[in-house]
Structure 1
Amino acid sequence: MVPTRINLGVGVLLVVLLGAGACAGGEGDGSAGNRPVAAAPAPSSPEPTEASPEPPPPAVSSAPPSVAPTVSPPKSSPSPQGCPTGEKQREVETALDAIGGYGPVTVDGVQSAADCAAIVKFQKRFGISPPNGRAGPTTADVSRRIAASLTPAERAKCAAGGGLTACVDLSQQTMWVVRDGEVIMGPTVVRTGFSGYATPAGTFKIDYRNVKEWSKPYKVWLPYWQHFIDGIGFHETTTYLHNMGNGSHGCVNLLHADAVQLWGLLKNGTTVKTFGRRSGT
């Protein structure tokens, strides 16, 4: 079969593309694709001519002008505008009320401006994203664990003696530091080893520290590294701590601020006690 040759000649095609940009996840802001259309100028009033009659002077009233009564706007209590009620509102209120220190909350399952402010402050402290005041599942889980770790019964499980002890509660996924029976740090949240890499329970000692350790097996930096057993230690998390579907390979992951504070408290020879068991390991 012989192909047929078609001569199309030479043509010019002019294509004009307008509004090619897009803003992912946002609303139109008047940029390309949302340009406002200029309004046509309003017709001007005709200029008066010499033949136009002169308007009569305005009437003058001898009565005093009336004064409208001043009405004060109604006073309203602050509203949690932009701070939605979450499905775990009452649970979070209950936990924050028990924890204290984040501002007043009312345990009624109804969002208020005060509740919102307390929840936002709590979310920022524990690295919960986004810190929008919404009482969702992550905020409820973290607040429940912190509240549980404040109880005398939970603290007693560490069995910290005299001196300095770092307590890691594997069941609650929290930790705190005790000096001579007094809690001097925490409780705060941690994330330990996941299934197949469970952080062991026991009593250990800090035996090596490095402000920035390189993990040869996993090819990642471990900030504020404090080793205590078999390649396992404390360090700042390199991922979002509250993704509990993840976990470490046995290490105790910390938020940045907590890793820094713990680095300043512990030293070689400090006792570390891990107890309980992380769910699913």
Structure 2
Amino acid sequence: MSFQHPAHTAPRNGDQRRFQRRVVGLLGSIIAVFSLAAAPQAAAQPLVPGSSDLFANAREAAWNTRVNVHRQVDATMNPIAAQGIKSAVDNVINVIFPGLIEQKNAAIRAEQQRIAEEAAREAERLRRSNFDYGSCPKHARACIDLAKQRTWLQKDGVVQGGAVPMSSGAPGWETPKGTHRVLRKVRHEVSYIFDNAPMPYSIYFTTTGVAFHEGDVNLWSHGCIHLNHQDAVTFWNNLHIGDVVYVY
């Protein structure tokens, strides 16, 4: 005894004929709309008042009919047959209204992109509104939270990119608290006090040689702020001479 999955069962003859009549009717509607829209152009007559509206309405009607045909064949036919019908409809539309389908699809993609970007902005707004700024003042460009071993950049009091991990000075070499300013930047720096240890992307903010720089965030420093590589690059690119650095 053989068994055929319902999803692949061919429609009964009566159902198939009724569906074919619906598709033929829809295609007939398309052709009728196209004929009305194309008639002024075929006759090479100047557009009369209202004819541009007629053409625009015909385009919309063609697009709506196309959408309905696609939906119906996707819902009632197997994928191969459905694709054949959809391609036929699209070919007709592309002949009469060149670029219509791509224009509509582009508009749909743009709207989807707009919605996604709006959702992302709202999510970022909520994330920033819930951010723990501690005692860092709004005018500071960089903030350093020694207790939580985190640091971040901000602009006009709004965090940029979120807090990133860091390590600060070890006991006896504590990073000085308070308000400081960026004094100088040295891209390929080394520590002349500690055996020429590399200090890439150094951003000095005290007169005693304390700086942000790339380093192991799992190890205490001699007062500097160690940052992971990408964070060090980000701070280097965004902090400038005179910017306020607040340590608390």
Q: TM-score, normalised by structure 2?
A: 0.46
